[in-house]
């Protein structure tokens, strides 16, 4: 290797290490629910490792820059236009992954920390009322009439979820003289030992399909070549036989 190439390679290695060490910022919700009702207060915090406290923060809402540069972005979700994806970039860290916030103009909302749980994880559900109005007879439903949980408070939890806990969840409660029902939330419980998404299932299907096609093509080529070789051998034997049987000239 020529010595003039070494500085260039060293620069590439250092640049790769710097890019690898550049961690992403993280958006955290307080309270931690991504589904809220109108007039709910929400704090979005931008965090990152090894970033000074006085670092400026870039905020994005649906890919549009928000004119604030503080770490904690506080909102009162008094309009559904606050719905959408939020991202941040703090200091020299990379842009965060998007966090989706949904604002509903309803009386009740069923809140959960996430929509996809792994088998064995704890799950917490919360039935939340508009402007925290007093609720009574709080009831949690799974798959409509499939399962029903009557609670004294607004929270319901499962210590370790399994496959039977997948389904459509909702909650109902009495607010004053009104009986209200939340929207349905679909929650999925995945088994880590199985493919976790349709894309992975299609990956395996395509893999075995391609392997089957290659095997069929290879087999076809093998028998075609073998047939041609056998045909060539027969032609050679035929010519040799005729050559031996031809009479000699006088």
Tell me, yes or no, whether 100 and 123 share the same domain: no
Please indicate, yes or no, if residue 241 is contained in any of the structural domains.
Answer: no
Please indicate, yes or no, if residue 249 is contained in any of the structural domains.
Answer: no
Tell me, yes or no, whether 115 and 184 share the same domain: yes
More confident residue, 199 or 164: 164
Percent of the chain with pLDDT over 90: 58
Domain end point (choices 105, 125, 147):
105
> CATH code at 115?
2.60.40.10
Please indicate, yes or no, if residue 61 is contained in any of the structural domains.
Answer: yes
Name the most confidently modeled range: 42-51, 145-154, 197-206: 42-51
Q: Is the pLDDT of residue 64 over 60?
A: yes
Question: Picking from 90-94, 105-109, 204-208, 213-217, which range would have the lowest pLDDT averaged per residue?
Answer: 204-208
Q: Which residues contact 72 (CB under 8 A, 6 or more apart)?
A: 43, 44, 45, 46
More confident residue, 91 or 35: 35
**In which band, very low, low, confident or very high, does the pLDDT at 195 lie, cut at 50, 70 and 90?**
low
The predicted pLDDT at position 193 comes to 78
Domain end point (choices 105, 130, 159):
105
Domain end point (choices 85, 105, 125):
105
Please indicate, yes or no, if residue 173 is contained in any of the structural domains.
Answer: yes
Please indicate, yes or no, if residue 219 is contained in any of the structural domains.
Answer: yes
**Omega prior to 221 cis, within 30 of 0:** no
The predicted pLDDT at position 229 comes to 62
Which tens digit of pLDDT belongs to each residue from 109-167?
Answer: 999 999 999 999 999 999 999 999 999 999 999 998 777 888 778 999 999 999 999 99
Give strand ranges (E) for the chain. 26-30, 35-37, 40-47, 57-61, 64-66, 72-77, 84-90, 99-104, 108-112, 116-118, 123-129, 136-142, 147-151, 155-158, 167-175, 178-181, 185-190
Tell me, yes or no, whether 188 and 199 share the same domain: no
Tell me, yes or no, whether 95 and 127 share the same domain: no
Please indicate, yes or no, if residue 110 is contained in any of the structural domains.
Answer: yes
Average pLDDT of the chain to the nearest whole number = 82
The number of folded domains in the chain is 3
Which tens digit of pLDDT belongs to each residue from 214-232?
Answer: 667 667 776 676 676 666 6
Please indicate, yes or no, if residue 94 is contained in any of the structural domains.
Answer: yes
Give the pLDDT mean for 3-26.
Answer: 50
- The whole-angstrom separation of Cα 203 and Cα 191 is 18
Give the pLDDT mean for 85-105.
Answer: 95
Q: Which domain holds residue 129?
A: 106-192
Tell me, yes or no, whether 129 and 149 share the same domain: yes
More confident residue, 224 or 15: 224
């Amino acid at each position: 290797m020529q010595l003039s190439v070494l500085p260039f390679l060293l620069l590439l290695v250092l640049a790769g290490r710097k890019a690898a060490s550049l961690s992403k910022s993280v958006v955290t919700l307080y309270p931690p629910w991504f589904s809220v009702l109108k007039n709910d207060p929400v704090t979005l915090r931008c965090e990152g490792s090894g970033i000074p406290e006085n670092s400026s923060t870039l905020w994005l809402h649906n890919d549009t820059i928000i004119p604030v540069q503080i770490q904690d972005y506080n909102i009162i979700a008094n309009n559904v236009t606050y719905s959408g994806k939020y991202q941040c970039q703090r200091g020299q860290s990379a842009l965060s992954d998007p966090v989706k916030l949904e604002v509903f103009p309803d009386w009740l909302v069923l809140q959960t920390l996430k929509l996809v749980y792994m088998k064995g994880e704890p799950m917490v559900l919360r039935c939340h009322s508009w402007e925290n109005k007093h609720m009574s007879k709080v009831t949690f439903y799974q798959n409509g009439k499939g399962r029903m949980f009557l609670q004294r408070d607004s929270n319901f939890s499962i210590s370790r979820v399994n496959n039977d806990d997948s389904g459509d969840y909702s909650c109902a409660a009495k607010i004053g003289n009104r009986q209200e029902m939340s929207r349905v939330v679909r929650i999925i419980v995945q088994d880590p030992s199985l493919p976790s998404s349709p894309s992975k299932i299609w990956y395996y299907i395509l893999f075995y399909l391609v392997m089957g096609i290659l095997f069929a093509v290879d087999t076809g080529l093998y028998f075609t070549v073998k047939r041609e070789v056998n045909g060539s051998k027969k032609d050679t034997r035929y010519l040799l036989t005729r050559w031996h049987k031809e009479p000699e000239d006088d």
